[in-house]
Chains A and B, each alone.
Chain A
């Protein structure tokens, strides 16, 4: 209790009420002695009886009792054994649809914005449509010609087109299509009432980890956006358990990180399988990474509640809401306007200056070497130990404000000298292979994508919610250290064999 507040609230001696309030409170205390301890229960019981009586008087059942699909579905979905596999399969379907559905629109957007061959090439390749010649020019080529015609100096063309514009084009073509597919599906599941059931299925695991059952809910929110997940932790009443939930929210990949996972899974895992199975394999890989994230969440929560944040788990009841038929138009509106555009806009705000920064890093030379080369060379030893390389680490440094731009930044850094504007899977995979990538790089990158410092917005949100510099620093560094350890361990073991 805050002392200054108490003083503030002391009745002033002159107040005519202070005497009577004193008398009142004394009388209350006397009367309380005489009441049975169960009077609260009696009052509540009366209230409930009245509510039942009133409701019964005005509610009528019409027609025969209908078959309640919801209850039967719940038996299956929250089944102690089947519940978890069903959850995995549902997630896999969502990712599979995202992976397969995003390919063609991504190629078309990339064609329109930057790829040589314009949209004519992907239309020809995927749909067998032959387009007129003017459609085989990308906006990037067009802008280049316009700038050259206007006599713009080379550095200006480079900074604005090869830096800012290209990085924006990358972010949009890599992120927009998967988000347009993933967000509506995620929101539909949420609207339907599936997310609380996920929480219900996972509840016992969180209890075992000594954490609050509602953490399963805040974790699910984290799949959308970790910053939103951290804010959602307010639903947990106990400060200790809230802190556990906040500190571990970053272990589930958010929407900004899914494109990275999906792309790596598509390029490196999918290509090892026959075409018929490739997208299934890619989706399965993403699901595996997600499940790993959930496992790490549980392990770290368990470690925290047994060490720094010891205490009794508090009980709570989670009510399963009824299934609702989702309002489709509303869902599409929310997921496109509120989520897709919101996330994309954030990514663009970060990508534009990052693009300029990359161009400067790549084109400002110091003793015959670009600044980027220095940075990459400096980070490379550490990257190699972790099964990654200097470019990937530099990309993660540049992408601290928003993880969405990791892949575009990485590719732009690789392609510094021969501007990379090719989005076709095989070509992209070849280019990465040329830069020394292997299956190990892909695995370590997916691990690092899961385990590294939260993005700038999330760090700021953690500070806002905890108001503690110590916990914010801990929340930032702990996943990073875990990531470095995990990647190094995997790389070391892999090289050993």
Chain B
């Protein structure tokens, strides 16, 4: 099953959306909701398949996952619902894919977001990870394609990377089913908040820092406990319409309202 979801305020390019007709999907069907984010072509779908035992078609090209896939798995008696987001290079600008991925992490409030990265192009992939950190601290970084990295003679110090990033980092080679248990374990720890993560945040340029210092307390008093006040402030300064609407409608602190669900079977091979 493949489904579309949008936050309540905005339907980006959804032509079939009827606001009054909200087929609500309950994300709580599983115990925990886990989102898979990552650059295109890092093997997200392979990780997805390896975790869920499903056979979503994987193809070696960017933009292969045009519709989100959803699957589930059980780990230590808990049910995890996994959402495969479209691959994106950033969450900054406004392509549809980036909007979908960002909105899900922002409004869907998954219990854990796994950023799948390509071990052979870590630097570029970390750009996205750092951006995800700004939105949610509940992140696991999965360094995938370790088999290829080994072949290319790359050695990656996972421990140091985890220390620098401030979140759990797991090395995997999903195609060979390596590191999957470690990944599931890390996801469980983050989702169940057994471990307080302190993700690395890039310092803002001075002029912006001043503005942020002023705005962040205002936002925090409006939505106590919001994990990403700094990011919200920054996006407001950028003039982000979605975030502005969310502030106006007071939905920032609330769970995403799912509405409009498209079920799409077959033909998607």
Contacts and interface: CB of A to CB of B under 8 A. Distances in A.
A319 B40 contact: yes
B269 A20 contact: no
Interface of B: 8-11, 13, 15-16, 19-20, 40-41, 55, 57-63, 66-67, 92, 95-97, 120, 122-124, 126-127, 129-131, 148, 152-158, 160-161, 164-165, 175, 200, 202-205, 207-208, 211, 214-215, 218-219, 221-222, 233-234, 236-239, 244-245, 247-251, 264, 266-269
A199 B221 CA distance: 51
Contact of A190 (B61, B160, B203, B264): B61
9 contacts: A5-B10, A28-B237, A39-B207, A42-B205, A44-B92, A57-B160, A59-B123, A60-B157, A193-B60
Interface stretch (A9-17, A80-88, A472-480): A9-17
Instruction: From B58, B129, B160, name the one whose CB has the most chain A CB atoms within 10 angstroms.
Output: B58
Instruction: From B237, B249, B251, name the one whose CB has the most chain A CB atoms within 10 angstroms.
Output: B249
A467 B15 contact: yes
Contacts of A228: 267-269
Nearest to B268: A231
Contact of A58 (B60, B63, B164, B222): B164
Contacts of B41: 319, 321-322
The list of the 8 closest CB pairs from A to B, nearest first, reads A9-B249, A55-B123, A51-B126, A227-B267, A58-B161, A58-B157, A235-B63, A234-B66
Contacts of B244: 25
Interface residues of A, number: 85
Nearest to B90: A44
A18 interface: yes
Contact of B154 (A17, A47, A60, A318): A60
Contacts of B61: 190, 193, 195-196, 199, 217, 321
Contact of A196 (B62, B95, B130, B267): B62
Contacts of A28: 215, 233, 236-237
Contacts of A337: 55
Contacts of B152: 66
Contacts of B67: 231, 234
Nearest to A9: B249
A62 interface: yes
Interface string A312-352: 00000011011010110010011001110010000000000
A5 B219 contact: no
B249 A190 contact: no
A25 B267 contact: no
B8 to A, nearest CB: 7
B103 to A, nearest CB: 15
A295 to B, nearest CB: 23
A52 B242 CA distance: 30
B8 A232 contact: no
B208 A15 contact: no
B120 A18 contact: no
A54 B208 contact: no
Contact of B211 (A31, A61, A192, A457): A31
A214 interface: yes
Contacts of B63: 214, 217, 235
Given A227-B267, A231-B267, 5 more contacts: A55-B126, A330-B175, A334-B58, A457-B267, A467-B15
A46 B204 contact: yes
Contacts of A232: 66
